[in-house]
Structure 1
């Protein structure tokens, strides 16, 4: 009973953290307009994402030192306070500062939810519970934008943030009752302050440089940020090889399961999460649909991801089998994205919906499973570190690929548009109001521009097939040593 209450609590906070990223999307223009900062609108999202990404490895190390209970409860309290401050924001600076704090605390909620599951379950049980709390992410993608629009229209944009408070308080009560005392395993004196500081500078500089790459007139800022980021990365790697308790122990990547799991997590970020932001635009232009209808393709993608995530988590926990899911999943992802690259303009909308649903099914089949695998491949004292690392590489892969795709699409479309159409001001409504021959030409342009993008992402998933084949074969252990009080946990290999 206590475990069910704990899972309910973790699912609630995971949903809050995921929703807080998606529910705001439809309210951005309203929020920025009322606060008089439309030109800085993107920072409502960028500040949140940047803060949550940067803090992941720090929180992972703190988990190993202090234990997840303290960090989880602290993050939940800070998240609720930050949500209150977001809604009370009187100016844009106040809102951005509150969003940064909210992003930092949301990272703690998401990460601790996964590490707590690792601490209270065996490796055999873990995929089912990780799939359950992991379902919050695709559900948030499906309902977040719609819910955000309804809340903004009916109650005001402040309630986009304040809706977190009643749900969060319920989760806090459940956590105080159901969350056991889970102590850390590493001495606080071993915290890698130098590595944490340099890594923060590295990520901030790299993400800002990539974000600025697509903005006109920001070439000097982009080059400077990327140079600082790369220098900091080299310095960070140097530090990690010399401190006694590194924030990200590089030696763990010598473990085949860890190396393959991290690579597969990166591929998910690069291969799918990066393209979902551009799918609606592609569908609106290439298939000449409305904004509402264009959402059906990402909906199909995420729904496929949700279903396969729940099924494979249940199956892996029931049977202990896991090896086939990353192999089949990456193969489905590669096949689906390659099919998208070959689709000609003018196909019925159900065709890209079905194809992207296949990509979602493939990705969901191993998205949370690899977290369980890498958690069981390291000593329990590194559970927080390895869980943070897997999430971090996925987030970085998604951020880098999203920026690169955006820059490439913008440059390619601008160079191919017919006379009279300006890429900087082009909207789907403008294209749909144009003569039929112009609509057909624009559809062909977007098809030709996106085709190599889909092909490149298909190649990333194809590499993922080879990576998945490197995972050790076997069955997940149902031994109680799968809890965090013993080390290390690994799969039971088959002869």
Structure 2
């Protein structure tokens, strides 16, 4: 038995060594690395990238449960939402800018600078004496988290072959679903036990350990040729996105309707200027010309489907089940947990299978079909069923989404020249994030207006809480449950239709197989078989 175990261990070490030698040999032959990647160094690299990706993703979720405490102690309840919005907006705005900078100056430099800024901003947030200070710190955190997220994916793309990449991307991509699962609970525990400041300071020990690993493990990667930076594109995109987010956040308030309309007009003008700037720029931050590649176009469309069709609805699932199924806040969280767990399982599974076989097209086809079917069933489910029924349905939706969540990043990276890796990775993440942000705001508006319109006289939508509804008589509870079901059903139908669009995009993706060679396909051709 011991001999057999030792044989298996030796074989595993030999396989790891062979894989690391292959990665290093390929990268050195292209002039990418200054040092070879040993098996130990490869493991440390993955550990470092996974840790910082988790920290960046965790800061999206861990702060939510401490917001009320933070706002109360700093005395600025009216600005509380900007603690979250500032982080999300800053990370979205910087995605294309940092993606292009990674191509120009090298992903290692952007990654290390982003990590140092993230840790400094976390320290500053914990010491914030005012809400304004905290919001500025959160903006800096968001800016640096964009660099951590993007450069983690870009670095793995530069030091692995397309065939090896899916399994590593799946491991790094697991940071986001894990952060969704543990973030709110962890944030509440830290706030109750140590104080809200430690929600930010807890990043420091993990971040410093990841920084030490990163300095050693991340190899030197030669940047692309020095090129002019697309300053006009960066400025117009920033103005457009900030104006769009402000408009979406202002529209629900009747007093801000004029401001929202002006912001919408500014966003439209800035986006038009951005498109013109990108079409004329020799090195645009968002390379529209690459969309002529069917593989790239389909993968970016699928990335948008994830943001629009999945990430947008997750935030509203607890409210829906508290009102329609009359569950407690704790129990209502089981449905999004089931959804995210499905994403985590299928994300890891599809990544390892794609690395082993080289085939990828079946995963987005099957995944979008499962997502569309699951959301269609959610639209038809009557209220009052046992909670395990919608949990199972949303678990299937999560399985479908996770099947191509990280995989399409690998596919799109493999379809462009090496010098465009950072830009195309940023663009793929950008459409996902914008889709989630805008659709989340739209769903919130639809639910708010729909519920207010259907509630009978005597019930005020503005003051309607789950606790209040649960205290009403049974007939009134049934009425409110039916209203929420009627309002959410069209939302589920619309999101199912979004996944159908994704299914078509997946079918249009060319047949291909991930290559064992590091050099990607031409930007005008599909991934080679």
Q: TM-score, normalised by structure 1?
A: 0.97
Tell me if structure 2 keeps the 8 A contact 1:481–1:489.
Answer: no
* Pairwise CA distance, 1:491: 2.9
Tell me if structure 2 keeps the 8 A contact 1:379–1:489.
Answer: no
Query: How many matched pairs?
Result: 490
* Pairwise CA distance, 1:482: 5.3
Tell me if structure 1 keeps the 8 A contact 2:290–2:523.
Answer: no
- Alignment map for 1:417-456 (pairs within 5 Å): 417-456=455-494
SS in 1 for 2:347: helix
- Alignment map for 1:102-181 (pairs within 5 Å): 102-181=141-220
2:213 and 2:329 mapped to 1: Cα distance? 40
* Pairwise CA distance, 1:488: 9.5
> In the alignment, which of 494, 500, 524 is matched to residue 462 of structure 1?
500
SS in 2 for 1:448: helix
Tell me if structure 1 keeps the 8 A contact 2:370–2:400.
Answer: yes
> In the alignment, which of 292, 312, 321 is matched to residue 330 of structure 2?
292
Tell me if structure 1 keeps the 8 A contact 2:512–2:526.
Answer: no
Match of 1:56 in 2: 95
Match of 1:491 in 2: 527
Match of 1:407 in 2: 445
> In the alignment, which of 303, 328, 333 is matched to residue 371 of structure 2?
333
* Pairwise CA distance, 1:217: 1.4
Match of 1:20 in 2: 59
Greater alpha carbon shift after TM alignment, 379-388 vs 413-422: 413-422
Tell me if structure 2 keeps the 8 A contact 1:123–1:489.
Answer: no
Q: Is 1:85 equivalent to 2:121 in the alignment?
A: no
1:234 and 1:490 mapped to 2: Cα distance? 29
Tell me if structure 2 keeps the 8 A contact 1:214–1:406.
Answer: no
Greater Rg by CA: 2
Q: Is 1:371 equivalent to 2:404 in the alignment?
A: no
1:361 and 1:243 mapped to 2: Cα distance? 40
Q: What residue ranges of structure 1 are gaps of 5+ in the alignment? A: none
Q: Is 1:236 equivalent to 2:240 in the alignment?
A: no
- Alignment map for 1:377-392 (pairs within 5 Å): 377-392=415-430
Query: Residues 490, 115 of structure 1: CA spacing in aligned structure 2 closer, same or farther, 3 A cutoff?
Result: farther
Query: Residues 145, 489 of structure 1: CA spacing in aligned structure 2 closer, same or farther, 3 A cutoff?
Result: farther
Tell me if structure 1 keeps the 8 A contact 2:293–2:525.
Answer: no
- CA-to-partner distance for each residue in 1:304-357, whole Å, 9 max, x for gaps? 000000000000001111110000000000000000000011111001100000
Match of 2:8 in 1: none
* Pairwise CA distance, 1:420: 1.8
Match of 2:225 in 1: 186
Tell me if structure 1 keeps the 8 A contact 2:343–2:398.
Answer: yes
Tell me if structure 2 keeps the 8 A contact 1:10–1:133.
Answer: yes
* Pairwise CA distance, 1:242: 1.4
1:211 and 1:314 mapped to 2: Cα distance? 40
Tell me if structure 2 keeps the 8 A contact 1:476–1:490.
Answer: no
1:446 and 1:426 mapped to 2: Cα distance? 12
Q: What residue ranges of structure 2 are gaps of 5+ in the alignment? A: 1-39
1:215 and 1:46 mapped to 2: Cα distance? 17
Root mean square deviation, CA, Å: 1.3
SS in 1 for 2:457: coil
Q: TM-score, normalised by structure 2?
A: 0.91
1:390 and 1:225 mapped to 2: Cα distance? 26
* Pairwise CA distance, 1:489: 9.6
SS in 2 for 1:353: helix
Tell me if structure 1 keeps the 8 A contact 2:520–2:527.
Answer: no
2:496 and 2:394 mapped to 1: Cα distance? 12
- CA-to-partner distance for each residue in 1:27-60, whole Å, 9 max, x for gaps? 0110011000111110000000000000000000
- CA-to-partner distance for each residue in 1:59-93, whole Å, 9 max, x for gaps? 00101100100000000000000000000000011
